[in-house]
């Protein structure tokens, strides 16, 4: 190697050595003592002025190996630029895809704008904030910063960053601290985005099927441990909150002790050459995780290509101090809180209930179908996600039934839809602890032309009382016989149809009851007698052919019971005289408020 005498003179200023080996590409100094971090830092500064650098080796003895800077290889700036641009594109597309699901009734440019502004930019901001923190620390330590490799991914748009394998860290302390400040800054900004996105977003705004990554990645542990104890979080969060979620997951993913990830810098600085075994285990875990989230294989391949043994400090003779143990614990906490997809919410007694499975709609009315969904014990303040197929929907509102149950009113957008007859809708509810499916049927019926009820041609709204029989009289106003079928939608109500003789009846309970068919000749009528034993709303349809029906809505109120009379009061009997002096006996034995009973003498 050229300039060997000059190099020996520089090394001699800082280290004593017993032997020197001069080869074609390097000079190896067998030094007597490992020195200090400051000593090695000064050595590197002097060697850099003549275009060489150095690193250490602790086996079989303490060595300083000097090589030309050109031997380190050049950075592939073009590859990094391409990977960065691809990551921006995948982030923008992920944001657009989510925004188009989440927001209803907005234009394509607006979907792109919201996707980029509220998702792609914040996620990229988390990644760049991590790099900025790392850059500032390395600049303070007079260490050259090298731009990382951004990892694009379908799904959430990115898997984070991998540090350049050309980066040079003088000592393990700089590796540990550079990796730590990067991860902690990304973790803190991600939490901030989740809080701001959750607090500023409406309770539920999305409509249609929202393809939320949380549905298959689930919540990291920090949600049940910390976040959802203070703010409501959703299985389908607002885009800004989802950006924080993505930043949190990717930061924790990059904290894994594997290769040239930030976590690899931290653990390599602590474990030294033994880090390779830790990296092997981490790679196996990532490969297993890719079974659940296949896009992780992209990160695994890049880590293999760049080297899974990871970075080593130029000076590995000086070991890190006790502070390294505390930083290691912090990074492990980041991994556990942000990456582990453990649904550790309370699931004891968890349930989802959709009481009604059938609905009836007049096609000429401007109404949508409202479905009540009760979610019980689904976790601390987690808003479930909903999806409906086919069609679109929106969440009209919610109410808390008790301390553990909330009922959401999901409105299927069926108004002006070209539905006819029976249409089935598949509803999915993801509570964060399990997924619930149910199919509901909706009868879309046209107003009938030939049948009237109680001399009314319009849909009826009646009010009746429980346990009080009432009649409905059907008239055939047409010129030909009508064959009609009785459809009863009563849910859990007790509904009965009385027959002749009166001691027989048909139980119409169920959802729906269908099967009672009758025929009416032109100009004739039929009287039906019913009795309902449960308060509620009962819908009855008199169905003709071609999905035409007379729809009757009957509100059943609790039976009115007269209040009982108060207990009687006994009054003593006493004699008296009238104005003329005649003697009489007034015998008042008992009374009620508003009524007096007694024996009155004749005068």
Average pLDDT over residues 60-66: 83
| 418 pLDDT tier (thresholds 50, 70, 90) | confident
Task: Answer for the pair 212, 242: CB distance below 8 angstroms, yes or no.
Answer: yes
| 203 SS3 class | coil
Mean pLDDT across the chain: 80
89 band by pLDDT with thresholds 50, 70 and 90: very high
3-state helix, strand, coil in the chain (%, to 5): 35, 30, 35
User: Does residue 8 carry a pLDDT above 80?
Assistant: yes
Give the confidence band of 597 by pLDDT, cuts at 50, 70, 90: very low
Gap between the Cα atoms of 475 and 528, Å rounded: 11
**Which parts of 413-512 are beta strand (E)?**
421-430, 435-447, 451-453, 460-465, 470-476, 482-489, 495-499, 504-507
Residue 533 and residue 467 in contact, taking contact as beta carbons nearer than 8 Å: yes
C-alpha to C-alpha distance for 295 and 151, rounded to whole angstroms: 11
Which of the four pLDDT bands, split at 50, 70 and 90, describes residue 591? very low
Give me the percent of the chain exceeding a pLDDT of 70: 81
Contacts of 561 (CB under 8 A, 6+ apart): none
- More confident: 289 or 85: 85
Cis peptide, bond prior to residue 49, ω within 30 of zero: no
239-254 pLDDT, tens per residue? 898 999 999 999 989 9
pLDDT (tens digit, 9 = 90+) per residue, 290-331?
887 888 899 999 999 888 888 888 887 777 777 777 888 888
Looking at mean pLDDT, say which of 142-146, 183-187, 344-348 comes out highest.
183-187
pLDDT of residue 567: 61
Dihedral sign of CA atoms 113, 119, 125, 127 in order = negative
> Which residues contact residue 339 at a Cβ distance below 8 angstroms, ignoring those fewer than 6 apart?
220, 249, 252, 253, 255, 256
Confidence check: pLDDT of 60 > 80: no
pLDDT at 181: 94
Q: How far out from the chain centre does Cα 165 lie?
A: 37
Query: Alpha helix locations (H) across 259-308?
Result: 262-271, 275-292, 296-306
By the 10 Å C-beta count (0-12 exposed, 13-18 middle, 19+ buried), 205 is classed as middle
Identify the weakest region by mean pLDDT among 26-35, 83-92, 441-450, 469-478.
441-450
Per-residue pLDDT at 38: 85
Residue 218 has pLDDT above 50, yes or no: yes
Residue written as token pair 């000059």: 6
> SS3 for 160?
strand
Helix, strand or coil, per DSSP, at residue 356: coil
Average pLDDT over residues 66-93: 84
Tell me, what's the pLDDT at 601?
44
Q: Which of 125-139, 217-231, 424-438 has the lowest mean pLDDT?
A: 217-231
Domains of the chain, CATH where assigned = 4-72 (3.90.1070.10), 77-201+237-338 (no CATH), 448-557 (2.60.40.420), 566-603 (no CATH)
- Read off the pLDDT of residues 435-492 as tens digits, 9 standing for 90 and up: 788 888 888 877 776 778 876 656 678 888 888 888 888 888 888 888 888 888 877 7
Distance CA 582, CA 97 (A): 103
Q: Are strands 382-383 and 233-234 parallel, antiparallel or unpaired?
A: parallel
Residue 440 in contact with residue 427, Cβ under 8 Å?
yes
pLDDT at residue 501, rounded to an integer: 61
CA R_g for the chain: 40
pLDDT of amino acid 208: 52
pLDDT for 272 equals 81
Is 159 within 8 Å of 153 (Cβ atoms)?
yes
Helix axes 296-306, 275-292, angle to 10 degrees: 150
The pLDDT of residue 584 is 47
Cβ atoms within 10 Å of 522's Cβ, excluding its own: 12
The pLDDT of residue 70: 65
User: Which pLDDT belongs to residue 204?
Assistant: 53
Q: Per-residue confidence at 572, pLDDT binned at 50, 70, 90? A: very low
Percent of the chain with pLDDT over 90: 17
């Amino acid at each position: 190697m050229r300039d060997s005498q000059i190099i020996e003179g520089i090394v001699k200023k800082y280290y004593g050595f017993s032997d020197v080996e001069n080869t074609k590409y390097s000079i190896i100094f067998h030094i007597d003592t490992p020195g200090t971090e400051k000593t090695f830092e000064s050595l590197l500064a002097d060697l850099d002025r003549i275009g060489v650098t150095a690193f250490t080796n602790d086996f079989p003895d303490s060595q300083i190996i000097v090589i030309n800077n050109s031997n380190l290889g050049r950075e592939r700036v073009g590859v990094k630029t391409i990977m960065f641009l691809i990551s921006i594109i995948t982030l923008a597309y992920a944001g657009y895809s989510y925004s188009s699901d989440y927001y209803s009734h907005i234009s394509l440019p607006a979907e792109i704008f919201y996707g980029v502004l509220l998702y792609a930019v914040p996620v990229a901001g988390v990644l760049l904030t991590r790099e900025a923190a790392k850059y500032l620390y390395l600049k303070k330590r007079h260490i050259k910063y090298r731009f990382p490799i951004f990892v694009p991914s379908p799904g959430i748009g990115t898997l984070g960053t991998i540090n350049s394998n050309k980066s040079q860290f003088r000592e393990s302390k700089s590796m540990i601290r550079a990796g730590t400040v990067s991860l902690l800054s990304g973790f803190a900004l991600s939490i901030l985005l989740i809080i701001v996105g959750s607090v500023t977003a409406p309770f539920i705004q999305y409509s249609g099927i929202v393809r939320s990554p949380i549905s298959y990645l689930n919540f990291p542990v920090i949600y049940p441990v910390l976040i959802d104890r203070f703010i409501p979080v959703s299985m389908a969060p607002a885009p800004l909150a989802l950006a924080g979620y993505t930043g949190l997951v990717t930061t924790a993913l990059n904290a894994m002790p594997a290769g040239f990830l930030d976590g690899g810098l931290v653990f390599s600085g602590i474990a030294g050459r033994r880090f390779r075994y830790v990296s092997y285990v981490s790679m196996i875990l990532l490969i297993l995780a890719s079974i659940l989230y296949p896009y992780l294989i992209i990160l695994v391949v890049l880590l293999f290509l760049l080297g899974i043994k990871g970075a080593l400090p130029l000076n590995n003779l000086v070991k890190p101090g006790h502070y390294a143990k505390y930083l290691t614990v912090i990074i492990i906490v980041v991994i556990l809180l942000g990456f582990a997809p453990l649904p550790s919410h309370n699931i004891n007694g968890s349930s989802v209930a959709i009481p009604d499975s059938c609905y009836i709609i007049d096609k000429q009315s401007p109404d949508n179908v409202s479905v009540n969904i009760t979610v019980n014990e689904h976790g601390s303040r987690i808003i479930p996600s909903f999806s409906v197929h086919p069609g679109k929907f929106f969440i009209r509102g919610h109410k808390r039934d008790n301390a553990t149950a909330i009922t959401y009113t999901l409105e299927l957008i069926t108004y002006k839809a070209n539905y006819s007859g029976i249409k089935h809708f598949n509803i999915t509810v993801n509570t964060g602890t399990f997924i619930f499916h149910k199919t509901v049927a909706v009868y879309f019926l046209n107003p009938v032309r030939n049948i009237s009820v109680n001399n009314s041609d319009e849909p009826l709204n009646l009010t009746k009382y429980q346990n009080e029989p009432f009649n409905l009289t059907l008239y055939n106003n047409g010129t030909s016989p009508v064959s009609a079928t009785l459809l009863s939608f009563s849910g859990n109500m007790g509904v009965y149809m009385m027959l002749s003789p009166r001691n027989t009846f048909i139980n119409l309970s169920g959802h729906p009851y269908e099967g009672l068919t009758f025929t009416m000749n032109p100009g004739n009528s039929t009287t039906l007698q019913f009795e309902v034993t449960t308060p509620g709303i009962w819908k009855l349809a008199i169905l003709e052919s071609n999905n035409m029906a007379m729809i009757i809505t009957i509100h059943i109120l609790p039976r009115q019971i007269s209040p009982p009379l108060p207990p009687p009061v006994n009054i003593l009997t006493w004699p008296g005289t009238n104005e003329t002096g005649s003697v009489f006996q007034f015998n008042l034995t008992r009374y009620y408020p508003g009524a007096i009973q007694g024996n009155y003498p004749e005068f």
